[in-house]
Structure 1
């Protein structure tokens, strides 16, 4: 995923820092950077949010809901689809084929965690209005505004989950006799209303990278989270794990050319669950603080 070239001296500097549990930006190996969430930015969308981390990686997500027909093999489920815009303004490498390939990789990673597994299927079922006839389709548009700080998958998943929390769709009445539906354009309900779409079950993508090829001497030796672009260029292997708020894993993808031992892979999965728990809590708290501030301003 990295697009920068480092000389051997720069790589050695980063590797030695990781061995001492002190990275070049002062963080420990298992410490994430602060991120900022803002929701409700796109007035024409049913839901939207942006997430930005220190170092300028910035992602904007907009969700548009529309009525559709369930797939024949999933007659009782709604649909979630993704579109990834790898803008050349975010990085010159997105201008050609590499941008399209990255978009496909991100699409596949999101599809695997949002459309498979028990929690995902439960949410898809909640989007069905009338089996085999009507359902909601959530078109999730992802715009990469900047990726100069790395951790693109992680930031995208945070923005998608925040946008789903912000999503509101019109109420629908179903005529039991004719099977026709009527959309109440003046009555809107939050997607995460109680008993409906379970927003908190939506997973986050956590990237764990291994730097260097020396055998592990401790749980975190050589393994880092929230890698910068420079650290991604030094990584020999990395995995991207989908983890929900309960710590359940819903998918895993490996990147890089080097193999991973069983002990290293197991340690990476443990770290992914640990970091995901922290990020889920941080995201939930930021969204709650934002809602409280908006309520205070409205009352004022």
Structure 2
């Protein structure tokens, strides 16, 4: 899994089916002879730990990899690092990397490569857990209205999620600071107070400070009031609508702290679903390469 754009609607639905079967208790400890490494070139809590939990539940053997103590610090290329791991017998790698489309360097690698997030490009495994959460809530995706709000330009989560949701039949809208809107999405942009009452899902994004070049002209002390989900705006939401966020959460910035665990919030449900979604992705990636995953 490199990008959700590579998957058809039917293939995504099949992955969701497998993920839900794992969540319902289907036997999962069947990959005990499979070796995997998680190569995280950016900091991570949720994605890295979620993959490790998924791998443990599948019975996989995890080979520790610390970027700071690897030959990357000596100038080794990403390709040579992954080729080394392939050569010594690993069966799969999960990679998070600051470079967009890092996986294009790995076209000659024969073992499965799973994208744990590439720069501002894609975050396909986050998208699958988000789809799983939405499906559990509404049963389907057709004609759902979903607002993605915040730092659109720098968010790999937004890019992957938009593509998948539109493929599944949902209507996607955007809001947030106009300076972070992308030209291709301008027609779908609606001011926060004009869209909040019409959305089935309000999906908030973290501000990607680490990806901004130079200082933003935005007054961050007023971000919540101008662009975030306040308690006043939450009261405007539809009766059965939900709040989502990929985390980490900047409490009091993109969302009022009191709303993080409110009745509408599915933020920690997303994290729970992430383990099962990634189990399904690992199983699928290995099956595509010919492994027998019963």
Task: Report TM bin, short chain.
Answer: under 0.3
Compute the TM-score of the two structures, normalised by the length of structure 2: 0.25
Higher normalized helix content (fraction of residues): 2
Q: Which has the larger radius of gyration?
A: 1
